[in-house]
Each structure stands twice: as structure tokens, then as C-alpha cells.
Amino acid sequence: MTNLESIEIDLLLEGIYQVYGYDFRNYLRSSLTRRIHYRMQKEELTTVTQLLEKVLHEPGFIATLVNDLSICVTEMFRDPFFFKAIREKVIPNICDLPEIRIWHAGCSTGEEAYSMAILLHEEGLLHKAKIYATDMNEQVVEYAKSGSISLKRMQAFTKNYLQAGGKEEFSSYYKTDQKYAIFHPEIINRIVFAQHNLATDSTFNEFHIILCRNVLIYFNATLQQRVHQLLYASLAPAGFLALGQMEAMNGSLKVKYEEADPCQKIFCKRS
């Protein structure tokens, strides 16, 4: 990347933030650059400035670019041994609470939030739980609200469910048509999906479990620091924070957590 293109990317990201409020300015630059180049190729553009012109002057184009810049990788019971650790090491510590609040930060299309609802149902806790699932991409949030997943993908998730310690028939949690699996209302209704931007928005509740997995790896050090502070402020005393396998606990906050399961990157906030 040339110095000129770096300046153009700075201007593009600043324009997106100033006009639309999406803040990608502290996202990891190497990943952003690849995604910007992908959209330029698709649009047959030769400069980032031409891309900025489309963002500013073509109604609706920003949604296309936000989808490019957002990371939407997820699946049911993703990393099944992580969910097994939640079942065995976290649930016993929160099961006696009168109410359980869980936040999936960066939920993408919602598969992991629905996985958590199923897990809580099997542990007899779903009736007193509320799962908040948020993402900065409004389009994926709207899709997640539907509670539907491609049937072909859903069938492939059965192995994850079993490895995560699933106790029932996985297919008992959804009905099907020819193309989609659709979760039953008792699963869908325990999840609140909403738009929330970790780069700019503040805390909105106190939670007993926060999952922010495979999100921080796309942020630079400045934004990672901000998000870690936000997650800490949002977590109840003795609450649990889960990060992704390639993510690390913030250095300055590390002493304020205990390791609940270091292999699965689950931490407990000190009371």
C-alpha cells in the first residue's frame, strides 16, 4: 500500500464516520485494506477516492461497503468445547441467580446467541434468562431476528451441538421448510437483537456473562483498549467474560479477573 493510498483510506474511513456514524478508523488496517480492495475490484474502481465518492453520493451504497468491512463469520455452537466449558464451568456459578443477563457482543447473524439459548434451555435456566445479541451491522441484526438458518448449514451443525454436550435431539429446537430451519418461539423470544457499535457506543446494562469472541482481533490496540474497558464496566461482579482463542486479556485489566478456563479464554471478574 502506497503512502497516497493510506491517506485515501484515512479519508474514506473518516467520511464513513462523519456521514453515517460507522467507525472503522481503529480497525486493523491490513484486514480493512483487503476488504476495500475487494469492493474496488467489484466496482471496477482504480482508486480509493472513487470508492469514497460512491459512499458519499450514491444512496444505499454504504450498506454494501459496511457488509464488506464487517466480519460475519459464525456458526451454531462454534468451537463446541467452548460451549461445553460454559455448560460445565460457568453455568453452575450462575444457576441460582434470580435473573441471568447475557450479552453476545458482535453477534453477526446470531447463531451463537441461539446456541446459548438452547444450552440454557437444557440446563433449566432459559425461563429466567435474557440474551442480548448486538452487532454494528444493522443488516445482519435484522437477519438474526428472523430466527432462521439455511437448512443445509443447520444439518452440518449437529456435530457441533453433540460435541458441546447437547442433551436432546438438535432438530427438536426448530421446524423446517424446504430451505430453512426456523427456531421455535420459546428460543427466539429470549433473545433481544439490537444494533450496537463497540467502537462508539457505551454500556447499556450489567451482565452476568459477556461473550466477545473473535471480534477484538480485527481492532488495533487503541480500540481493543476501549472495548476491554467497556466490557469490564458492563460485567457484574463475579461475572464471566469470554474471548476468542486468538485474543488476549487486556494487560491493565488482567489483575481484575481470575481465569475460569484459560484454555477456552473464559475469565471471571473479581468481586
Is there a domain that residue 75 lies in? no
| Co-location of 97 and 149 in the same domain | yes
Each residue's pLDDT tens digit, 77-91: 999 999 999 999 999
| Co-location of 94 and 211 in the same domain | yes
Q: What pLDDT is attached to residue 1? A: 67
| Co-location of 222 and 88 in the same domain | yes
| Co-location of 220 and 129 in the same domain | yes
The answer to whether 150 touches 184, Cβ cutoff 8 Å, is no
| Co-location of 259 and 207 in the same domain | yes
| Co-location of 245 and 122 in the same domain | yes
> What residues make up the domain containing 19?
3-69
Domain containing residue 12: CATH number: 1.10.155
| Co-location of 209 and 111 in the same domain | yes
User: What percentage of residues in the chain have a pLDDT greater than 70?
Assistant: 100
Choose the final residue of a domain: 16, 41, 69.
69
Domain containing residue 107: CATH number: 3.40.50.150
- Give the other-Cβ count within 10 Å of 250's Cβ: 19
Is there a domain that residue 74 lies in? no
Low-confidence spans in the chain with pLDDT less than 70: 1
Is there a domain that residue 186 lies in? yes
Q: CA 233 → CA 3, 179, 241, 245, distances in Å?
A: 38, 41, 11, 22
The tally of domains found in the chain comes to 2
| Co-location of 189 and 262 in the same domain | yes
| Co-location of 32 and 154 in the same domain | no
Handedness of CA 174, 180, 185, 187 (dihedral sign): positive
Each residue's pLDDT tens digit, 103-133: 999 999 999 999 999 999 999 999 999 999 9
Choose the final residue of a domain: 69, 98, 122.
69
First vs last C-alpha separation in the chain: 47
